[in-house]
Each structure stands twice: as structure tokens, then as C-alpha cells.
Amino acid sequence: MSLSPSISPDARPITDTDTAPGTGTAPALGTAPDAGTGTVTASPATAPGPPPPSAGDTRAPLTPGTLRTLVRDLAERPEEWIHHVRLSTEERWYRRLAADEDHEVWLISWLPGQSTGFHDHGGSRGAFTVALGELEELSLGGPDQGLLIRRVPAGTARAFGPEYVHDVRNTAVGPAVTLHAYSPPLSSMAHYDLRAGGLVRTSEEGPEQW
């Protein structure tokens, strides 16, 4: 799910880094969500979710907290996704595990050095958890806080609101596998350059590109 005026991203996630129970081998977004290229297929039965909306349904998007719970719970059921995982030396690999009208779930793998660059999520709320390995997340903490760098080790999750902008990267020595959920499903993603004056929107991509 990873546009040129300067922006002031909401760099305050709804929830902070959050340690999941157990160790890091339970099993998180992209550009596909947080990925760049890869195979995108839908298998709606893979991840949990509410029933399809009825005609005229105007439900609000799922909250970041709900999305966090979704990815953490899915991470604890590796039998539902581990067999899909692939690694790509070219770019992050990703696959959409599930999609309905109010949310979607993505599986992403990251080799050392692979990253998203700064990006938003087109107004979607989101969450991701690291199932295997470890990632690093960069975001702007506001006018007085500057650049924030967080370790996101296996077993932890991040959740964020619709204005969130971040850069996620694998700076570790081994691969990482993550699970991501977005609500509503990603409709676009803008990319940004971090410059002296802040983030500058540089491009945008849509679902046809992932």
C-alpha cells in the first residue's frame, strides 16, 4: 500500500510500539501497503473480518486498535500465511491475504536493506506487526521533535490514523516478515522525500500499481 506540496504529517500513531504476547515467531503494510512490487492475489477466507456490508451500509472504517488486534491475532496463526511467504532480492515481496469492503490484509517480506521510503496510506487507517525478524520505522514527531526512529522487533505492532506518514525499513542482517491491515482498503499512496524543510510529496500510486 509505498504526492508535492509540503505536509505536516500526523506523526503520532494512535498506539505506540506494543509488545505482543509470546516471542517473535507469531507472525505486518506496504506500498502495496508498504511494499513495492510483488504478487497480489486475494484469498478472502484467510483473515478474520466482519461480514460484508449490506446495501446502504455506511459503517465507519475499522479503528487502528481493531486493526492492530487483527494483525496480532493473525500473527499467532502462522498456519494461515506462512506458506505464502516468498523473498525477493529486487524489492519487497507482498501478497494480499484478504480484502472486503471495509478492510484488507497484506503479507510482506523484507530482505536486509529493503525499505518503503516515506509514504502515507491515502487516508486509510492501518496497523502492522512484525512476525519474523526486525524492522525500523522512521516518522516525524512534530515541529519540536524532529525525526523519530523506532525499532520494531518481532512480536510488536504499530497502529496509526489516516494522516500518518512513515518510512519502514529492514536494517537488520536477516529477512523480516510482516502482516498489515488497512481500513478502508488502500485506494492510493503518496510518497515523500524528507528534506531540510520537512516532507515533500513527490509521487502517488494507486491500486493498479500494486
| Region near Fe ion per CB under 5 A, out of 4-12, 26-34, 40-48, 66-74 | 26-34
Q: Residue 98: helix, strand or coil by DSSP?
A: strand
> Can you tell me which residue has the cell 502492522?
128
| Region near Fe ion per CB under 5 A, out of 23-31, 65-73, 75-83, 151-159 | 23-31
**Taking CB under 5 A as the criterion, which residues in 131-190 touch Fe ion?**
none
- The three cell numbers locating residue 145: 521533535
Name the minimum Å distance from CB 44 to Fe ion.
22
Whichever of 98 and 119 has its CB closer to Fe ion, that residue is 119
Tell me the residue number closest to Fe ion, measured at CB. 34
Whichever of 34 and 104 has its CB closer to Fe ion, that residue is 34
Whichever of 21 and 147 has its CB closer to Fe ion, that residue is 147
Name the minimum Å distance from CB 184 to Fe ion.
15
Collect contacts of 16-19 with beta carbons under 8 A, ≥24 apart: 16/158, 17/150, 17/151, 17/152, 17/156, 17/157, 17/158, 18/68, 18/156, 18/157, 18/158, 18/159, 19/155, 19/156
Beta bridge partners of 177: 109, 132
> Can you tell me which residue has the cell 511467504?
85
34 binds Fe ion (CB under 5 A): yes
Name the minimum Å distance from CB 51 to Fe ion.
27
Summarize as ranges the residues that interact with Fe ion (CB under 5 A).
29, 34
